[in-house]
Amino acid sequence: MYTIKFKFQEKGLEPLTIENVAADQSILEVALDNNIHLHHNCGMVCACSTCHIYVENGQEFLAELNDREEDFIDRARNPRINSRLGCQCVLNNGSGIVEVTIPDQTLIHGE
């Protein structure tokens, strides 16, 4: 089981920790299941960049970055070396702690 720690760039949002998260879920699915707002305009099929997140720690517990995801990350607002798409960050079998930062969602238009 995993522990996912969410931090937010959006003002007024406090960090949240979600415990006992099962493998084979994406970070986006975990966020949505726990009422954490994370845009996902394409419906979780790696066809946009709205679920862009920063993986601060625990990258080794996530599915590897593929070429398609990398192409869409390049289109995200303020991409960094630790940028990923929440829909593609699927938890591998195992357990650990994953820490992510969600960019300010008020800067993203549409849903």
Q: Where are the domains of the chain?
A: 2-106
Which amino acid, residue 48?
A: C
Positive or negative, the CA dihedral 54, 94, 97, 32 is positive
* pLDDT attached to residue 28: 96
C-alpha 72/C-alpha 75 separation (Å) is 5
pLDDT digits (tens, 9 = 90+) for 16-55: 999 999 999 999 999 999 999 998 888 888 888 999 999 9
- pTM confidence score: 0.91
Q: Chain-wide mean pLDDT for the chain?
A: 92
2-106 has CATH 3.10.20.30 classification: yes
